[in-house]
Amino acid sequence: MKKTISFITAVASLLACCNITAFAENTQTPANVDEAVYAQLMKHKFLYDLDSDGVITDAELAQTEYLSIDLDGISDLSWLKKLTSCNDISFSNGNITDFSILKELPTLKYMDMRNVPITDISFMKDLHLESCCLYEMDQITPEQRAEVLHFTAPEIWEGTAARIECQPRNLLDYDISIADKDTAAFLNGTTSASYVYDYIYGVSAGKTTYTISYGGKDLYTGDITVKKAPQAYDPALHDTGIDNFEVEYSHFYNYDAEDGRLGNVALLNGILYSIRGSEVKVLETDVADYEYFSKRTYNNDYNRADMVLKKDGTLLVNGEPVTDIKVKSMRNGYYLGENGNIYTLVPKGDGFITTTVATDSKGWIDGCEPFYVSDNGHIKYYSTKIIGDGRVNVYTGSTYIGEPSDACCVGSNCYVINGRTLYEIRYSDTLTKNVIAEDVVSVRASDDGLYAEYTKADGTVEKIAGKNVYNTHPERALGIYNGVFYIHQYQYRGIREDDAVFNYFIQNDDKTMSLAFLGDWCGLTNVESEVCCTYDEAMGHGFVYFLRTDGSIWKYDLDAKQWQEAVAGTSPIVIPQEDQPVRGDVNADGKFNIADAVLLRQWLNSSYDAFIPNIKAGDLCEDNRLDEADLEIMEKELIKAR
């Protein structure tokens, strides 16, 4: 031993005298894993060798978020516990059957297995996976898969909807059925679905059950609770109405350069408003139409235009008037002059110039693109193709159909009647034309826009199945209109993406709107349509806007829980809260105790069954989010109260 120490001392002295640094001090140590594992990691070192020095270390494995490994020739998985940041793993092949080590991966959310010879997947119960796919593993039965699934017991406000959350997703393609359709039903009006992410709508307050089944065999039964919704806010209506209304994106009038997102503008009764955060601002008056238009340039960038058509025929493109042309109407970057000519905007530099598309036009066919009636009484079509900066080739062609007596549009199909023949026409790259029926006197689109219907001379009415129809709303079977808001800024506050995306529902009969967001509910009567959602960065509050049947626009502050008539500019109206939440009472049982701290910790750890009904009560830091700081205060207060 002494000789060994003396030798080491001598070598160290020699290195010091020669000003040579020991190589071991600067060399990274490869990760302590089996050679077969390390060899596979090196094949995909761009994923794991984070500093690109040719060595994968234990420290780099600890930062790895994704792992894909073929288990052939590998017999030990104990090294997996090094992957403390990994949230996505893919396994294939091999002979390993014990995967209990995965319980030591705190961030694991997604897992795939392909041709892995396990026969027992019960270990998955403790993994809290969000998604798991098993490929080429028919030895795992549907019953085994169902055993490891976790299902929620949804609580839904009456008049709103929610999903039955299942974890892990994708493990089993099951069917869902609901026992009592008078209490809850799917948005299409049925009580069964094979699509597991379908929304369940709260029809009326009460309780019912749902059943999970596979191949006709029931595997699981859970509860659905529909809560009685509070009274919707019902301010008096003005003695006014809606002349015209539309909502569009805006680049020129309302662009958030810091966030890189387009804002919203709304045209209502001849006034164009911008809507940003809590502010509604008048942009232009005497407006007949508005359109946001973007077009790919010759160098494959995009130029963008806010097109405002004034009632006097003046067209503003990004605030600048188009001179020498009085405009009757516009659509998709094309506009029809009072002289009958059709024009379009062509990208040039950072802006646009005007190019003539057709000079033989008598006018557009309402709603049918890209068709117009020519001077000689034929239906023609047009298109353009950019060939240079500010230059396009213009194409026009005839359908050889005479001027229509009636027409309508469904999806991208145009239905026109010439004489008494009904044609279906469509143009994209080529023209398609079909005769639908003879002896037809009128044609119209259905109220829901899903099909066309025509009336024959003898009075019979026939339907045409819709083709190329988008944005359909099957929820109308329940007598509701459903839409979705998404406020991405809430995710910066620690809110899940699924919760930053939320639905609103408008009853067709009485126009009452219901909306649920993070456990809270709000409602408004006499709602004609949604307008938009926004976020006020200065306030740190989210807002949703709705148009009422009297032509007023109302906004709801999701954080302050108050309504305000935005366009009229009245004082904020605060909705009185029936019960003030007990501080810290996140489980909403009316008291603050250790159960609330346990629930909050489970929720922060993303436990699959941790649902917090009272978010606000847990925000002890009063910073509009729930995090470890709130839990720390909660635990301290509980200790003091002992």
Domain residue spans of the chain: 2-140, 147-227, 594-640
What is the rounded CA–CA span in Å between residue 530 and residue 426? 31
Say whether domain 2-140 belongs to CATH 3.40.50.
Answer: no
For residue 427, give the nearest of 468, 462, 378 by alpha carbon.
468
**Residue that the structure tokens 């459903």 belong to:** 482
For residue 127, give the nearest of 159, 149, 158 by alpha carbon.
149
pLDDT digits (tens, 9 = 90+) for 593-615: 888 888 888 777 765 455 666 77
Beta strand pairing status for 192-193 and 155-157? unpaired
Question: Does residue 562 sit in helix, strand or coil?
Answer: strand
For residue 555, give the nearest of 534, 584, 537 by alpha carbon.
534
Give me 51's structure tokens: 């500093």
Pinpoint the alpha helices (H) of 538-605.
594-604
**Average pLDDT for consecutive 10-residue bins of the chain (642 residues)?**
41 44 60 89 88 90 92 91 92 93 92 94 90 94 90 91 87 91 90 78 94 88 93 90 91 86 92 92 93 92 94 95 92 91 94 93 88 92 93 94 90 90 92 92 82 88 68 65 91 81 92 91 94 92 94 93 79 48 80 84 64 74 77 83 70
Class of domain 147-227: mainly beta
pLDDT digits (tens, 9 = 90+) for 296-319: 999 989 999 999 999 999 999 999
CA 426 to chain centre: 30
- Amino acid 475: pLDDT: 54
pLDDT digits (tens, 9 = 90+) for 537-567: 889 999 999 999 999 999 999 998 999 999 8
* pTM for the structure as a whole: 0.76
